[in-house]
Amino acid sequence: MPQLLAIASYISKELVICVVCGNPANRSQRLSDSLERVVVGAAGAYEARCRKCHVAAPVAMTPASNIELLSR
Ligand SMILES: [Zn+2]
C-alpha cells in the first residue's frame, strides 16, 4: 500500500464526522464488548471516531491472534 500511495497522482480519503467531537474521523469505535474480530450486521455496534477520541481495546480483550499481528 505505501508503494501505491507513493506513485499515485491523486489520493482521496473518505472521512466521516466524529460523533464525539465533530472533527473528521477515519476510525470505527466498537461499542459492544464482543470478542469477535468482526461483528457482522451489527447496526449501532460501531460509531465513527477521530484519532483523538478513538479508544483502543484493552490488550486483555484483544484476541491472541490479533496481538501477534499488532506486534509486527
Ligand atoms: Zn473526535
For residue 7, is pLDDT > 60? yes
- pLDDT score for 24: 96
| Span from the CA of 7 to the centroid of ligand 1 (angstroms) | 31
CA dihedral 37, 72, 67, 29 (to 10 degrees): -50
For residue 16, is pLDDT > 80? yes
CA-wise closest residue to 54 among 33, 11, 34, 24: 24
Report if pTM > 0.75. Answer: no
| Span from the CA of 47 to the centroid of ligand 1 (angstroms) | 11
| Span from the CA of 48 to the centroid of ligand 1 (angstroms) | 8
pLDDT grade for 51, boundaries at 50, 70 and 90 = very high
Average pLDDT over residues 35-54: 85
| Span from the CA of 29 to the centroid of ligand 1 (angstroms) | 11
CA-wise closest residue to 22 among 59, 48, 55, 60: 48
Report the DSSP pairing between strands 27-30 and 46-49: antiparallel
Going along the chain from its start, the domains and CATH numbers come out as: 16-70 (3.30.60)
Question: Cell triple for residue 34?
Answer: 464482543
For residue 61, is pLDDT > 80? no
